[in-house]
Amino acid sequence: MKIGIIICNRYRDCGGGKCFRSVRERHGGFSKYPAGETVEVVGYSSCGGCPGGNVEYVPEEMIKSGAQAIHLATGLVVGYPPCPNIRRFKKFIEERYGIPAVVGTHPIPKKYMDVHRGLPFWEETKMAEIAGDLMGEAENVMKAYD
């Protein structure tokens, strides 16, 4: 399986450690891939900054490198405020490029989960509908990503 990762530009200087760790460990958004299947990250970029213009173009390059799915990084879900365009990005990538856009990379760190559970945004936007792999992660795994 070959994938591309798009991160929130607010975290463009992030070293990507949690994302790459979760690829190896098959946690979070990567839990959908069997442990025995090789997952190769063929592209890693940011959205380009609000409102996310790079999402229109960068999947094309990733697909040329073999990407079969695009993962929208967990930072889009747990930054505050969470990205207001996640659903638009997912819909656009899937319509325009015909490959899955998966919401989530690494598990949500527990310290962020504890804060977000008490805030209204996730419920208002029905985040669990599109980020189920993250919301359903075991608490001990979330804690391991604090």
Residues that bind ligand SF4 (CB under 6 A): 8-10, 47, 49-52, 76, 83, 85
Q: How far is the CB of 5 from ligand SF4 (least distance, A)?
A: 12
First and final CA of the chain: distance in angstroms? Answer: 27
Query: 78 vs 141, which CB is nearer to ligand SF4?
Result: 78
Q: How far is the CB of 52 from ligand SF4 (least distance, A)?
A: 4
Q: How far is the CB of 36 from ligand SF4 (least distance, A)?
A: 32
Query: 30 vs 89, which CB is nearer to ligand SF4?
Result: 89
Query: 8 vs 141, which CB is nearer to ligand SF4?
Result: 8
Query: 3 vs 76, which CB is nearer to ligand SF4?
Result: 76
Q: How far is the CB of 92 from ligand SF4 (least distance, A)?
A: 12
Kind and range of the H or E element at 71?
strand 69-72
- Quote the tokens at residue 26: 């098959």
Contact 2, 40 (CB under 8 A): yes
Tell me how far CA of residue 43 lies from CA of 7, 50, 76, 122, 145, in angstroms. 11, 20, 17, 28, 23
Contact 127, 88 (CB under 8 A): no
Nearest to 9 by CA among 69, 71, 75, 61: 75
Query: 70 vs 141, which CB is nearer to ligand SF4?
Result: 70
Q: How far is the CB of 57 from ligand SF4 (least distance, A)?
A: 14
